[in-house]
Amino acid sequence: MTSTGMEVLIERSKWRQEAVALLVKDLKAELRTKVAISAVGVFTFASLLLLGLATAVLKGVPTVTITRLPDVIGLQYLIEQLHPAWDSPSKMGLLWVLFCFAAFAGLAHSFVHEEETGTVTVLRLSMSAEAVYVGKLLFNLIVLLVVMATVTPVYMAMTGMSAGYAPAFLLVMLSGGIGLAATATVIGALAAKAQGTGALYGALGLPLLLVFLMLLLNAANTVYIVNAPMLRIVKDVGGLFSFGVLIITMSVMLFHFIWEE
């Protein structure tokens, strides 16, 4: 084996330590300044209040969906078909719209910050591109999960959203967090390189998240089905999870094109 080959091997085995080092550095900086957490957190809480106010009137509005016409439409039948218009899946959908906006308002910081302070060159010299991506992804994921863990219970208390089937609910939240953090991280790196403003970040990221939100709504519907078959839960939550996995795979493969000059 040539010496360069050995070096490449050593480089490859080092990336995990490098990623963890970057994560620790970001977390330490975050604990000192609390920029990302407070930006995403305040944004989410403020929009939560806006949402709560706007949807307060919806609480008592019932709706009827008739999937097939019965032989005789009686009052009893209609009462059975009544369900609230503002039900748990739609509440979940709005909560995630909120998370998407919050992520794209706050998570750009992690790369833009490095560009602004000029530390980006040091970072580029001292570790591989993959390590930078994984470190930043983990940091963003942790910030997002902390915000989600504090905001979701408040949202549930405020709007009366139920958890449905709890394990599936947690899995949906977790896979959703992974998908969102993965997209926000790679697009954040792209937008920072384009020296784009926040508008560019949103314009690049949100179209990618439309499909993600469709998968999420599909999984959210399954969570609230009483006694849903396990196959359906695995299929729908797995479908949501696969989005994050695919974005991460693509990002790891392509990140050095963004990162290296």
Partner 1 sequence: MATSERRTEISTVQASSITALKGAWWKLGMGLLMCFVIYGAFFIAGGAVGFGQGGDKARIIFFHVPSAVLASVCYFVGVYFAAFYLFKKQSPKKAAETDAKSAIAMEQGFLFCTLATITGSIFAGVQWGSFWNWDPREISIVIMLLLYASYLVLRAALAGRPERRAKLAAVFALIALVPAQYLIWAVPRLVVYTAHPKDVLFEQEALTFNYKLVLYSAFLAFTLLYIWMSHLRFRAYKIRAGREGKRG
Which residues contact partner 1 by CB under 8 A? 186-187, 190, 193-194, 196, 200, 203-204, 207-208, 210-212, 214-215, 218, 239, 243, 246-247, 250-251, 254, 257-258
Asked if 200 and 191 touch (Cβ cutoff 8 Å), the reply is yes
Could you tell me which of 191, 210, 207 has the C-alpha nearest to residue 199?
Answer: 191
Q: Of the two residues 33 and 121, which places its CB atom closer to partner 1 in the complex?
A: 121
Least distance in angstroms from the C-beta of 50 to partner 1:
24
CB of 123 to partner 1, least distance (A): 18
For 10, phi and psi rounded to 5 degrees? -65, -45
CA distances from 171 to 54, 97, 176 (A): 29, 18, 8
Nearest to partner 1 of 76, 260 (CB atom): 260
Nearer to partner 1 among residue 89 and residue 239 (C-beta):
239
Which phi and psi (to 5°) does residue 144 adopt? -65, -45
CB of 15 to partner 1, least distance (A): 20
CB of 179 to partner 1, least distance (A): 10
Give the Å distances, CA to CA, from 150 to 40, 95, 120, 166, 229.
12, 13, 32, 17, 30
Tell me how far, at minimum, the Cβ of 105 lies from partner 1, in Å.
17
